[in-house]
Amino acid sequence: MNFARLVDRRPELTPDEMVQAMTPPPRFESARFETYIPNPDEPSQAQAVRDCSGFVERVNAASAGGSWLRGIFGGKKKQAEGKRGLYLDGGFGVGKTHLLASLWHATEGLKSYGTFVEITNLVGALGFAETVRRLSEHRLLAIDEFELDDPGDTMLVTQLIAKLTDAGVHVAATSNTLPDKLGEGRFAAVDFLREIHAMSERFGVVRVDGPDYRHRGLPEAPPPTSDEELSRLAEATDGSTFDDFDALCGYLAGLHPSKYGRLVDDITAVHLSGVRAAPDQDVALRLVALADRLYDRAIPVRVSGEPLSALFTEEMLQGGYRKKYLRAISRLTALSRDLTRS
């Protein structure tokens, strides 16, 4: 059978397309503060909505007020409400991305939204100075899935945030790690503590607690199918793709993660045969990035082989990237359940 395959796609993005694409992904196009449903058992969630709404009001007021209000809000106030940065910290599945997208939608004027890897790739494509020039014209930069995975990214992002906030740009970010703990367990973060702490001083931290909403009261993910059944289901699903898991992992190694979103654009469902645990950390992190882009676009997933919960080894789940891997499992499980219900 001739199936459409992800490995046959050749996604490309020009620098201008990267800038134009800096908006919330399709799943969060309609996200608003009013549509965020706080868990009544977690008061921090309702408080986070209030804190984000207040931050937006300050962003819009500072922009409308020009240099006079910029001077007020750009001073050395240590209170969270005086800082140009808002940092949503909490576990996966508590709605941080929904809040970030809502914040972006409520901000007036020029603004940009991207994942951490999309931001770093933009700098790689445009150059640091040109990225600063373009984004300095914006009122807000929203960064989803903020993480520092290596020393180069640490230096790059801290410098970018410093330049943008000094230019009057407000920055909002989500992460599973407090800003002064970024990089812990992944590289020699002690060598970069000054840079990390300098960056964290620019953010007011808003905690969002609670269980993973994607699985509250819902059944477990469906078990893997047989290869034959997977092939039949892929053939019956218009606009879907069918790939061998190992072949896809090999293909992703040669594709920059910033292109993973374009890779799965316009796909209705993804079918993967022979799923097994990622053989090493590099492969695992690419799978995390792919899972995030599939989730952004609400693209269902069906597999054969091992269950999606077995994508990452116990050793990986106990290491420095634990939160990333758990988020990927949570999102992929939700996507596999979506396809079963459809």
pLDDT at residue 38, rounded to an integer: 93
Does 177 fall in a domain? yes
Does 105 fall in a domain? yes
Q: Which residues pair with 143 in a beta bridge?
A: 114, 173
* Shared domain check, 183 and 218: no
Q: What is the CATH number of the domain that holds 136?
A: 3.40.50.300
* Shared domain check, 142 and 275: no
Q: Last residue of a domain, which of 157, 178, 207?
A: 207
How far is 310 from 303, CA to CA, in rounded Å?
12
pLDDT at residue 302, rounded to an integer: 96
Does 159 fall in a domain? yes
Q: CA-based angle 147:151:153, to the nearest 5?
A: 50
How far is 248 from 264, CA to CA, in rounded Å?
12
pLDDT at residue 33, rounded to an integer: 97
Distance of CA 229 to the CA centre of its chain: 32
Q: What is the percent of the chain where pLDDT is above 70? A: 82
pLDDT at residue 181, rounded to an integer: 55
How far is 117 from 121, CA to CA, in rounded Å?
6
Does 19 fall in a domain? no
Output b/e per residue, 307-332; b: 16+ Cβ within 10 A: bbeebbbeebeebbbeebbbbbbbbb
* Shared domain check, 132 and 97: yes
* Shared domain check, 299 and 239: yes
Which residues span the domain enclosing 106? 31-207
Does 1 fall in a domain? no
* Shared domain check, 201 and 217: no
* Shared domain check, 165 and 78: yes
pLDDT at residue 294, rounded to an integer: 96
Q: Last residue of a domain, which of 207, 240, 256?
A: 207
Per-residue pLDDT of the chain (342 residues; tens, 9 = 90+): 678 999 999 999 888 888 888 999 888 999 999 999 999 999 999 999 999 999 999 999 986 654 433 443 343 333 344 688 998 888 777 899 999 999 999 999 999 999 888 888 889 889 999 999 999 999 999 999 877 666 677 778 888 999 999 999 999 988 765 445 544 444 344 444 556 567 678 888 888 988 766 655 555 668 999 999 999 999 999 999 999 999 999 999 999 888 999 999 999 999 999 999 999 999 999 999 999 999 999 999 999 999 998 999 999 998 878 888 988 998 999 899 876 554
> For residue 171, which of 59, 72, 259 has the smallest C-alpha distance?
59
- Domain total in the chain: 2
* Shared domain check, 157 and 249: no
Q: For residue 325, what are its two tokens?
A: 């891997």
* Shared domain check, 296 and 182: no
pLDDT at residue 217, rounded to an integer: 52
Inter-axis angle of helices 281-296 and 322-341, nearest 10: 40
Tell me the per-residue pLDDT of 179-188, one tens digit each, with 9 for 90 and over. Answer: 455 444 443 4
Tally the C-alpha atoms within 13 A of residue 336's C-alpha that lie toward its C-beta.
24
* Shared domain check, 220 and 198: no
Q: Last residue of a domain, which of 167, 188, 207?
A: 207
* Shared domain check, 182 and 74: yes
DSSP state of 201: T
Does 178 fall in a domain? yes
* Shared domain check, 157 and 182: yes
Tell me the per-residue pLDDT of 247-283, one tens digit each, with 9 for 90 and over. Answer: 999 999 999 888 999 999 999 999 999 999 999 999 9
* Shared domain check, 233 and 85: no
Does 242 fall in a domain? yes
Does 220 fall in a domain? yes
